[in-house]
Every structure is written in C-alpha cells, then in structure tokens.
Structure 1
Amino acid sequence: MPGNPLPTLDPPAPADTTWRFGAALLSNGKVRFQLWAPNAAPGLTLEVDGHAPVPLVPDAQGFAVADVACAPGTRYRYRLADGRAVPDPASRLQAGDVHDDSVVASPVGYAWQHAQWTGRPWRDSVIYELHPGLAGGFAGITRQLPDLAALGITLLELMPIADFPGTRNWGYDGVLPFAPDSAYGTPDALKAMVDTAHGLGMGVMLDVVYNHFGPDGNYLADYAGDFFRDDIKTPWGSAIDFRRPAVRRYFQENALYWLQEYRFDGLRLDAVHAIADHGWLPELAATLRASLPGRHVHLVLENDDNAAHLLEQGYDAQWNDDAHHVLHHLLTGETRGYYAGYTGQPGADLARALSEGFVYQGQPSAHHGGTPRGEPSAHLPPLSFVTFLQNHDQAGNRPLGERLVHLTEPARLRDAVALQLLCPHVPLIFMGEEFGARTPFLYFTDHLDPALAQAVRDGRRGEFAGFFDDGDTRRVPDPNAARTHADSDPWTSPPADADDWRRLYRSLLALRRAHLAPRLEGCEATHAQALDDRAVHVAWRLQDGTRLAVLANFGPASVALPQLAQDDARLPCLWESRPEAARGAASGTLPPGVTWFLEDAR
C-alpha cells in the first residue's frame, strides 16, 4: 500500500511537529510530551524537573499529551497510579539505564560535515557487521573506519544500539527503541561516526528489533497493554499487536528517526517472521521510501519464512541463511540442528542457493516440523540475497562461539571466502573475519537482577544440553559474566597471519569493485549444475551481457567436468583460490578449490 511521508526530524531549527511519540521541541519554546497509554489507570502523571506534576488523561485514541516549557537536557518521567516512575517508551536519551529518567533531546545541534551525502546504490554494497560495544563504542568505531574503507567495505552494519539493561548486551534485549545506549557513547558521537563514514564513501546500516522487547525495563504492559496480543506467543512472550494503528505508527516513527536524525543509510529488520502481521512490512517500506526521496535507503530482512514476495514490496534483500547453512555443512561436516536440512544433496543445494537464492522455496522442512517453508525465489535478482560465512547468530548461537577458523582447514576457508566475495549476491563480513580472528563470539548480557541473570544462564545451558557428548553444559560460558564479553573482542589479540587474511580480502574486494559491482544490476543466473555432492558449476549474465562463471569443489578429490563447464574454464580467469586450479579445470578436471572466470577479465 502507498506510504504516507512522516515528518522530518532534522529541521534547521526546532519546529512544531506531528510526531506522535516522545518529547518533541515546539517552536514556542515548549516541549510536547506524548505518551500512548490506552490502559493507564487514573492517576497517571508527567513529572518534569523544575515543574509541578502534570496530570494526564489519555484521549479517545489513547494518547496523553502535555506541553511544558523546558529546554533540551531536562529530565522527565511518567508516574503510574501505583507510584512507580517509568521512562518514556519513545525516549531519545536516558539519564542512566533503562529504568532511569528520560531526557529531552534536541534533533538539531550537531554540525554535519557531509550533509549532501545521499548514499550509494545497493549494487555497491559490501557489508561489515560489528558489535558497537566490542568495537569501543561509537568513538572506537570511528577510529576503525579508515581501515575498513581501505579494505573495501562500503556499508557498515551495527548490531542493535537501542537502550538495553546494563552495559553489555548483544542489543536484542533493547527496551527503548529510540534511545542510543549510553554505554556506546553520546548521540553526537553516534552522529560523528555516521558522518565520518559518509566522508569516506561508506554507508551505515542499523539492526533494529521490531518483533519483541527485552525482558527487563519494558513497562508498556502496565499502561499500554493493547500494545500486545494474548492470542499469539513468541519466544520472547506475547506478540506485538501490529493490527493497532498506534503500534504501527510507533515503529514507523522509530525507523524514520534513525534514518533521518542520525542519517543511517538503511535498516536490517531482525527476525520479521516473528511479526504476526506481515502486511505491516510493505507498509513500512513504502512509508520510509516516500519520506526520504532522493536517498539510497537500504532495507534488509532477516526472515526464516523465506517470504520472497517481500523482496518485491520495498525490501532490497534478505539474509540468506540457506546459503550459509549449506556452505557451513560443506566446510565443517556438521549435521546438528538446522544443518540437518542441508545434508541430503549439498551440491544441488549450493547450486540452487547461488543461482536462485533460497534453497527452501516451498518444500517441507524437517527442522520446521515437516511444514512447507519458503516461496519461489528464482525470479529475483542475485542482489536480493545477502550471503555470509559467519555473522553474530551463526557464531554466537554456538555454545562455545567458535569461528570457522576453528572448524575447518585454512585452505577450505579461503575457498569459501573467494566464493562469497565474488558471488553476485551482496556479501556480509562479520567483524574479525577479515583478519582471521581466533577469538570466539559468545552470547553476553549484563542483567542486574540476579534471578533474571540466573534464568538466562540456565536457559543458555539448557539449550545446549544435547550438544556435549558427556552432557556437561558447565562449559557454556556464563552470559552475564564480564569475562564472557571480554573474551569476545576480536581485536585484542590478532593472529600471526592477520595480514595474510587482510590481503586476501582486499584483493577479492578490489576485483569485485572493479569488475562486478558496476554491472550487477540486471544480472541473472543462466546456468546452475551440481557436479557431484560437493562441487558446482554456476554462471550468470551480467548487466552488459558479459558471462561470469564459477567452478567450486569443496570435496577432497578432483571432479570430471562436462563440456559446458570446460568451455567456461577457458574464459579468462578472474581468481583461483588454489594454484593451477584454472588450468586443471580447462583440461577437464576440477581440483579442490574455487575458481572464477569472467569473459573480459584482464
């Protein structure tokens, strides 16, 4: 459905606003405080430092509104009828943690140095996912940006920064979606980081969580119970009720807030399969694009449902778990959990993932109880899929957080890197991959409530009860221990071969930038064949008609090639992951490794 533009958050001066949530500066020197509280008991009040309490009565739509003369930096809170003080659920800034006062924040004040930046086209995207806290907060990320730009990264992706309890968290326990967590730095430090990236020609995406709130610090149910529905449960509790206009508006405003005030270049929406009303997703995309004309805004989904139709309704791409899972199985031989669904014919699955995107396009999935999973995706362009070898989930949701360097041989990992970075899909690199980091990426939290910390600890260890042959889950690191967070920092002890890995990534990304990125729009797969259970031949026609082909063999022995594969092996070699691989393929025998061919490669 068509989107209605939402109001701008970055005017030249504080102005009247039609934002429905949060504390908004007005042109008359006052601040408009707006709270959706349709289920609040009588006695709800607004408390603003320096002012007498203001009684609030929600209107027919459930909104309680009060205008108060105060300045940016003023603390405020809402007092419930039972006496508890709660923060603004649309707080732009917290004076402490998630249970503390909210602070009136001004959308203006930061002097943008690259205000004319409009972004880069999606075809240029090489994504780098990192955890802001481990990277040293917003200031630490800023210091790393020149090196990332030199590597060939064009789009930085931050794991969620919405205010969460404590100082250590993956970010998916956020409860105040509009407030950058102060553990990472100030709002101006965040803006400076985005601004610096833009000056280096790099965009910045943000991971946002619209499917649930964290377990600590969310008070919505106490005065806005209508925010949730009791007929659908999720792994995190009652589902958010996107049938309600106010709820839809809350998250629409949140999305635009990050894109407009902080000038993020895109959003990655976490686990949208847990959003019951999928009709809201196209509405959100349309609203954002109508509100931000003239900018390259990238919208990416994580969606276990493989709902291909959403990639034709305003979303650029989806994280392709299917491609990851089959590659992980080929590299490691693992068959536990969801990897079991990719062991029957991994060669065919890999060929399908490279040429069509999803492996599961409607066939039954044993991991999903035998129900059909996915929709046909072969008609979608390769740029509709984000392909990765690792990410926060795939490393961090292992009990010991191992990276692929611990799970496969270096030569095989280099093969996979070559396959990923020159594939017409959009590549995503997880922090540390580019220098072969050996540190694990573990699940970590900082819950101050001992009971909650113990529940998370027990839940984490219970989840992996069947993973260890001896059943001893005490080896699973305590998520709430500060050591678990510290052990996950990939930059503390780079390996001896770090420079070798960086040279590999720089070389491959330079080839991608020079030969592929300018002609990926309109690219389409023209051939896909499994040569055996571990080897594939896939070819694409690029925008200008040029032929791109890959021959990949993840098995231990050479494979005989059919005639068409031999023909492609006589094209100019763009990259071979192992010496003499191209020559062997041209002679009709494909050795282990990954070799790329491009019709006009020099």
Structure 2
Amino acid sequence: MNSLVPLHPNNVRFHYRLPFGAEYLGNGRTRFRLWAPLAKTAAVELDGRHRVPMSPSLSSDEEGWFEVETDCEALTQYHYVLMSQIDGEISVPDPASRCQAGDVHADSVVIDASAYQWQTLDWRGRPWHETVLYELHVGALGGFAGVTQRLQELAELGITAVELMPVSEFPGAYNWGYDGVLPYAPDASYGTPEQLKQLIDTAHSLGMMVFLDVVYNHFGPDGNYLASYSPFFRNDTNTPWGQSIDFHRPEVVDFFAQNALYWLQEYRFDGLRLDAVHAIGDQSWLRTLAAKVRAAIALEDEEIGLEKRHVHLVLEHDGNAASLLNGGVAGESGSGKYEAQWNDDGHHVLHVLLTGETGGYYADYAIQPAEKLARCLREGFIYQGEPSPYRDNELRGESSVELPPTAFVLFLQNHDQIGNRARGERLTALADPAALRAAQALLLLSPQIPMLFMGEEYGAAQPFYYFTSHADEKLADAVRMGRRKEFSRFPEFADSAALDALPDPNSFSTFMASIPEPVAPEEDASAGQWMGWCYRLLLIRREAITPYLPGAIALDAQAIGPAAVYARWRLNNGTVLCITVNLGKEAVTDSSDTTLDALATLAGADVLFDSGGVLDSLAGGVLSPHSILVIREAAR
C-alpha cells in the first residue's frame, strides 16, 4: 500500500501510496482513511454537498480507523465530519491532506500524485561530502516559482543543495513555517504541489539537491484539530511550544515515518533536516525513523531498477547527540544513524569572536573562545559532556572526537540565529567586514559541511525578522507579548519605549522587511565583491577539498592568539589541509611553538587561499588581523 507506483520502466510516476488520507486510485475513484479513535462516527463530505459515511475498519488490529472508497475525481475538495466524544459534531481537514483549498481551516483537496511528469528520472542525488547548503525561506523568495527562478544562479555560484525552511501548511500567508499543522500539504501561499515538484525537478537538472526542514516535535497553535478526535498528544508533559506528541503510539509513529518517506519519495527531496529533535520525548524513535527511511530507499532502488539513490538525514539537536551521527560514512539500508547535525557550538563561538557578544547562550563561549573554536575544528562539538554555565551547569553533549568532520553542518548565520534576535540583524550589521570575510573563508574551506543563509552570498544587509500572520488577534497578541517578555530581560530593553519599538511579528511590513533585496553584482560593488569572494572560495572547495573528504580526519587544532586558530586535517589522498585564521582586530606576533610549526610547513606547500599578504606576514612571524591562509601539504 505504501510504495512507489512505477507505471513504465522509463517513466516512473513518483506516487507514494499512503496508508491513510485521500488516495486517488484512478478512474475517478478515491480511498479515504482516518484514524479517529475519539470519534463515534465519521463521514467525508465532498465539494461541500455530498456526504459519504465512513465505516470502522474491519481489521482487528486497526482499532479507531474509519475508511471508505467512493467515486471521487482528483481536485475534489473535501473534509471530514466527525461526531467527536469531546467536541460533538466537527468538520476537520484531512491531517494527511496533500493540498489545501485555502488555509489550515479550509477544505482539503484530492491530488493525483501521478500526474506530474518528472524530467529528471535518472537523478540519484549526490554523496553527502559534496554538500554545500543554502538555507532559504520560500515565501521571502517569491514562493516555489520564485525559488525555481533563483536556482540557476545558485548552481553557478557553487551551491550543491538548497534547504527549504518548513513548507507544510501553516496559518496565514506568511510564517516561518514552524507553526505548521498539516505536515503533508505544501502551503497554498507558496504555490501548488506541482510547482514544488517543478522546483525540485529543476534543481536536479542543475545538479543540485533539495533538502526540506520538517517539524516532528510539535504542531502549531492554530488549525490543529487532532486532539479532538485522537489521542495524538500526551497529557503529562509539554514542549516549549505546547503538548508533547505521544511517540509511544504506533499510529503516531507511523504518521511521521510515512511523512518522511512521502517527502523523500513522492516529491524526491534529497534529504530532510529534522527540527529541534531534543524536544521529542522518545529519542529511540529517531533511530527507528532513520532505519526505516534507509530500508525504504534501498527497496525503492530495487523496485525501480536504478542505482543507489543518495538520501540524507540531518538533525538539529540541542543535546549534541553524537551517538546518532555517522557523517555520511555508513549509509547502509538498515542504519539508524544520521549524516550530520547542525553545529550550534561552532556558530556560537564564531559569533562571539566576530561580535564580542556574550549575553544569553553566548556566555558558554565567552571564556577562551579561540580554544573553543579550535576544539570545534578538531572534534566537532565544543560541549561533549561538560557543564554549561548558561544552563545552570547542566551537563551537555556527548563525545564527538571519533566522528569525521562531515558529521557537522557549520554556519555563520541561519534563520534562528538572525531571526530570534530582537532586531533581526545579520552579521553584516554586527561584525567587521574583513573579519566576516575571513570567517566565511573558514566556513567554506574547512572540512565540515558548510551552510549559507539566503543573501549571505552577497553580503545582504536586510534584517530577517520573526514573522507570523495569525488571523486570530488573541493568538497574534500572545506572540507579541511573548517576544516582549523574552527581550525584556536584556538591558537595552529595560524601558517600555524600547520594547514598543520592536517589530510587530504579525505585521505584513515585518515580513516584507525580511525579504533580501535582489542585487545585480555589476551595479552593486559591495555585493559583487561578496559574490566574487564566495564564488572563488566554493571553486577552491569543489576542486581541492571536496573530492578528498571521505575518510578525512582532524590531526590537530590549537589557539595561537586571542582570536586566532591553526588547524590541520589529513585528506583521503594523504595531503594535509592547513588553515591559519585570525578573526581578531590585533595581529598575532608572539609566535608560539605551534605557530612556528605552522611556518615550517609552508615550504613546498600548495597555497589554496590567501586573504591578502598573509603568507608574507607569516614569514615575518606576524599573523595579520582579520586574515586567513589555507594551504595543502603534499602527501608524505
């Protein structure tokens, strides 16, 4: 039931058969299935006119399921009518809706998933070590069609994978996407399911992967009807965003596992980024999900008769769960491991070095930041079981020393680290431009997997705010008050006037101000310099570093100044990649033994990148401010 439908060996239609929801069967027939144990009766109402009763499943192991197969064409609008034990008669959208006729409270739409004609049938993805991520907000770039138009220039820049912030149906027309309530339906404000498939198809034709950010730790506060008819949530525990999802129930587990496979197989996404999985109560589910995805993709390859397809799973996990990672080394079908985790530690210490900020969670990185950056480059995570001062000395993290560099996604900016600031400032407004360029060179040339945030490639100055579009004014006001309360703890917002000046997250103007302005490098000198810098770095990465990342290991990394680090990695061809970087505004002149060792390796080495006179200054025993040198030692 839940498999791909090959219609012809050379014309595979990527229709993933779901075991629930509305499945168009062809010939004007559709099957509807819904898990509603807290409903006495259920029916599906078609186009607001024709109500078809649903029958309880006859299977003894499917208690609480209602189903019916009936005459129903694709594009028919529908909703379920339930007699709930909690709320009486209610009309609800399909929790597995593939498409909505409007917003989260509107009717769902029957979709013929086999209709889209894929043009890139031979696409098998790219190996994980080739990944260069570009995170973007679909709405800010003009919806699915707008993103599609941007793909060519991103491919030419050297981006190999775009990562979409969540696209599942959320309340209103603009939202970060983490308030989604219908995880199978692309948001109608972004475009149609076919337009999303065209985006992915176009990316594949350009040799680019597409990743999707998915939210399996909570549902948004508006439009979530699940609790009215199913025991989907726990009553004994909460997440920061509401009731905890009950991952001990097999129906709940399957709902999310099927969602992952649906995006990967029906839409042919190349990977998923799982949001804030530390908030999932049953952590063992993460291994179960990974293993199921690996096995299903291997079976897909066998059924279709094509070579192995590369599919990648990435975590965001505040607990630095190193035991869940493999860095893309072992992708066997039964593996319960993930390729990588977002390296928040790396971001935080780089932010401290670039801005001098030490408030909030940055306090954990304020003491000896260069030493902490060295550990990040050497071992991945900075916190590997040590007490976190910010968290009242709670122990945080697991040992990551044995993991390859590719087990970590490194970044200078992302949606959270910009948008959760009170004023949404990018690093272009906070850091010295020369220091920021040196940091970007470190990001793009180190062996960890790099990620840029939209606009970062041309030094965008526009802020990126937190924004919503809740129609419910009480909910909108609760969001405003929550933001005010959060920032009132900071000295700069001690008076009400400062808080009143904060952008209103529910205002359309806040969303509009978050859209990075398009640039023409030939007309904007600064943007052109940033683009040229980024292009040059990604070209070096592609030609001199990426091919040799599988099996790469860190040899050493040490602080050689208050904001300076020297790091070395052995690549799989036996050469040694060496990076010397100074993010500080003062030159490093008191050469330690480590620095002298670095100088000694320069003879006969291949200089991959010099930010400007660094090689000459090092020869004189000085590491200039805001500088970086990247060399490659010959194999020995």
Common fold by TM > 0.5: yes
From 500, 509, 512, give the equivalent of 2:541.
512
Q: Deviations over 1:112-153 (max 9, x none)?
A: 111110001111110000000011111111111110001000
Q: CA RMSD in A?
A: 1.9
TM-score (norm 1): 0.95
Residue 141 (structure 1) aligns with: 147
Residue 207 (structure 2) aligns with: 201
Q: Is the CA contact (8 Å cut-off) linking 2:6 and 2:14 kept in structure 1?
A: no
Q: Deviations over 1:358-391 (max 9, x none)?
A: 0000001122221110000010000000000000
- How far is the alpha carbon of 1:345 from its aligned partner? 1.3
Q: Deviations over 1:209-249 (max 9, x none)?
A: 0000001000000001x211112211111111111111110
Structure 2 distance, partners of 1:93, 1:511, is: 42
Residue 64 (structure 1) aligns with: 66
Residue 302 (structure 2) aligns with: none
From 111, 122, 126, give the equivalent of 1:120.
126
Structure 2 distance, partners of 1:247, 1:235, is: 20
Structure 2 distance, partners of 1:316, 1:476, is: 38
Q: Is the CA contact (8 Å cut-off) linking 1:538 and 1:551 kept in structure 2?
A: yes
From 218, 232, 236, give the equivalent of 1:212.
218
Residue 609 (structure 2) aligns with: 575
- How far is the alpha carbon of 1:196 from its aligned partner? 0.6
Structure 1 distance, partners of 2:292, 2:7, is: 19
Report matched runs for 1:224-373 at 5 Å: 224=230, 226-293=231-298, 294-312=308-326, 313-373=336-396
- How far is the alpha carbon of 1:485 from its aligned partner? 0.3
Q: Is the CA contact (8 Å cut-off) linking 1:421 and 1:509 kept in structure 2?
A: yes
Structure 1 distance, partners of 2:634, 2:540, is: 12
Q: 2:190 matched to 1:187?
A: no
Q: What is the SS of the residue equivalent to 1:26? A: strand
Q: Is the CA contact (8 Å cut-off) linking 1:16 and 1:26 kept in structure 2?
A: no
Q: What is the SS of the residue equivalent to 1:597? A: strand
Q: What is the SS of the residue equivalent to 2:139? A: coil
Q: Is the CA contact (8 Å cut-off) linking 1:127 and 1:156 kept in structure 2?
A: yes
Q: What is the SS of the residue equivalent to 1:491? A: coil
Q: Which amino acid aligns with 1:7?
A: S
Q: 2:630 matched to 1:596?
A: yes
Q: 2:66 matched to 1:43?
A: no
Q: What is the SS of the residue equivalent to 2:114? A: coil
Residue 487 (structure 1) aligns with: 513
Residue 52 (structure 1) aligns with: 51
Q: 2:407 matched to 1:388?
A: no
CA separation of 1:150/1:181 partners in 2, compared to 1, >3 Å: closer, same or farther? same
- How far is the alpha carbon of 1:17 from its aligned partner? 8.2
Q: Is the CA contact (8 Å cut-off) linking 2:385 and 2:396 kept in structure 1?
A: yes
Report matched runs for 1:448-597 at 5 Å: 448-467=471-490, 468-471=492-495, 472-492=498-518, 496-559=525-588, 560-562=591-593, 563-570=596-603, 571-577=605-611, 579-592=612-625, 593-597=627-631
Structure 2 distance, partners of 1:496, 1:552, is: 26
Structure 1 distance, partners of 2:493, 2:421, is: 15
Q: What is the SS of the residue equivalent to 1:589? A: coil
- How far is the alpha carbon of 1:587 from its aligned partner? 3.6
Structure 2 distance, partners of 1:540, 1:255, is: 35
Q: Is the CA contact (8 Å cut-off) linking 1:162 and 1:176 kept in structure 2?
A: yes
CA separation of 1:8/1:17 partners in 2, compared to 1, >3 Å: closer, same or farther? closer
CA separation of 1:14/1:30 partners in 2, compared to 1, >3 Å: closer, same or farther? farther
- How far is the alpha carbon of 1:23 from its aligned partner? 0.8
Q: Is the CA contact (8 Å cut-off) linking 2:43 and 2:51 kept in structure 1?
A: no
Q: Is the CA contact (8 Å cut-off) linking 1:9 and 1:260 kept in structure 2?
A: no
Structure 1 distance, partners of 2:81, 2:556, is: 64
Q: Is the CA contact (8 Å cut-off) linking 2:617 and 2:623 kept in structure 1?
A: yes
CA separation of 1:352/1:263 partners in 2, compared to 1, >3 Å: closer, same or farther? same
TM-score (norm 2): 0.90
Q: Which amino acid aligns with 1:572?
A: D
Structure 2 distance, partners of 1:245, 1:347, is: 47
Q: Which amino acid aligns with 1:45?
A: A
Deviates more, 1:460-469 or 1:49-58: 49-58
- How far is the alpha carbon of 1:599 from its aligned partner? 2.0
Structure 1 distance, partners of 2:233, 2:435, is: 47
Structure 2 distance, partners of 1:131, 1:16, is: 26
Q: Deviations over 1:36-83 (max 9, x none)?
A: 11222x233222235333144466532111111211111111112223
CA separation of 1:297/1:596 partners in 2, compared to 1, >3 Å: closer, same or farther? same
Structure 2 distance, partners of 1:470, 1:52, is: 57
Residue 78 (structure 1) aligns with: 80
Aligned length: 594
Q: Is the CA contact (8 Å cut-off) linking 1:419 and 1:594 kept in structure 2?
A: yes
Structure 1 distance, partners of 2:283, 2:412, is: 28
Q: Which amino acid aligns with 1:251?
A: F
CA separation of 1:346/1:355 partners in 2, compared to 1, >3 Å: closer, same or farther? same
Structure 1 distance, partners of 2:579, 2:166, is: 35
Q: Is the CA contact (8 Å cut-off) linking 2:45 and 2:78 kept in structure 1?
A: yes
Deviates more, 1:198-207 or 1:586-595: 586-595
Q: Deviations over 1:183-224 (max 9, x none)?
A: 111111111111111111101000000000001000000001
CA separation of 1:6/1:588 partners in 2, compared to 1, >3 Å: closer, same or farther? farther
Structure 2 distance, partners of 1:535, 1:429, is: 22
- How far is the alpha carbon of 1:18 from its aligned partner? 6.3
- How far is the alpha carbon of 1:25 from its aligned partner? 2.3
Structure 2 distance, partners of 1:146, 1:551, is: 33
Q: Which amino acid aligns with 1:574?
A: L
Structure 1 distance, partners of 2:518, 2:541, is: 30
- How far is the alpha carbon of 1:157 from its aligned partner? 0.4
- How far is the alpha carbon of 1:470 from its aligned partner? 4.2
Structure 2 distance, partners of 1:123, 1:331, is: 27
Structure 2 distance, partners of 1:9, 1:353, is: 45
Q: Which amino acid aligns with 1:515?
A: A
- How far is the alpha carbon of 1:533 from its aligned partner? 2.8
Q: Is the CA contact (8 Å cut-off) linking 2:4 and 2:14 kept in structure 1?
A: no
Q: Is the CA contact (8 Å cut-off) linking 1:14 and 1:25 kept in structure 2?
A: no
Q: Deviations over 1:150-204 (max 9, x none)?
A: 1000001000000001100000000000000011111111111111111111010
Structure 2 distance, partners of 1:52, 1:373, is: 54
| Structure 1, unpaired ranges of 5+ | none
- How far is the alpha carbon of 1:347 from its aligned partner? 1.0
Q: Which amino acid aligns with 1:598?
A: R
Q: What is the SS of the residue equivalent to 2:189? A: helix
Q: Which amino acid aligns with 2:42?
A: L
Structure 1 distance, partners of 2:134, 2:14, is: 36
Q: Is the CA contact (8 Å cut-off) linking 2:232 and 2:246 kept in structure 1?
A: yes
Residue 330 (structure 2) aligns with: none
- How far is the alpha carbon of 1:585 from its aligned partner? 1.9
Q: 2:22 matched to 1:23?
A: yes
Q: Deviations over 1:298-334 (max 9, x none)?
A: 1110000000011044210000000000000000000
Structure 2 distance, partners of 1:581, 1:515, is: 20
CA separation of 1:52/1:6 partners in 2, compared to 1, >3 Å: closer, same or farther? closer
